[in-house]
Amino acid sequence: MGQVTVFSGPERRRRWSEEERLQIVAEAFAPGARVADVCRRHDVSSGLIYTWRRKLREAGAAQKASAAEALPAAVFAEAVLDEDAVAVSAAEHPAMIIDLPRGKRLSIYPAASPALVAAALKALR
């Protein structure tokens, strides 16, 4: 059976510290966790947990925006082409190269059929 909390006095709202909120939100959205289970465990409504998460995200976005203003403007690196390189068609370059133990190498070319690639990868397992 559930637990009942009775509040007396003028204040009827519960208050959570920042650390408690962070801990509850982290627990609720951890891999494999269910928000409903965390809500029951901490006696908190699911809407409140989602509100806390939204406010944390908004605060994080505001911090990123202020940090981005302090960073220098982004610049692009210059691309350099090797003029000595011989032009080769794409069919002559492998699409995937898999290095195997003992110095062996498996090269898969773009012209290879999907069935052949699947068979080669299954053989490696």
Each residue's pLDDT tens digit, 55-69 = 988 888 777 766 656
In whole angstroms, give the CA distance from residue 40 to residue 50. Answer: 14
Contact 120, 106 (CB under 8 A): yes
Q: Which residue has the higher pLDDT, 59 or 92?
A: 59
Percent of the chain with pLDDT over 90: 25
β pairing state of 96-99 and 105-108: antiparallel
Helices (H), 1-90: 18-28, 35-42, 46-70
Percent of the chain with pLDDT over 70: 71
Which pLDDT band, with edges at 50, 70 and 90, does 36 fall under?
very high
Q: pTM of whole model > 0.75?
A: no
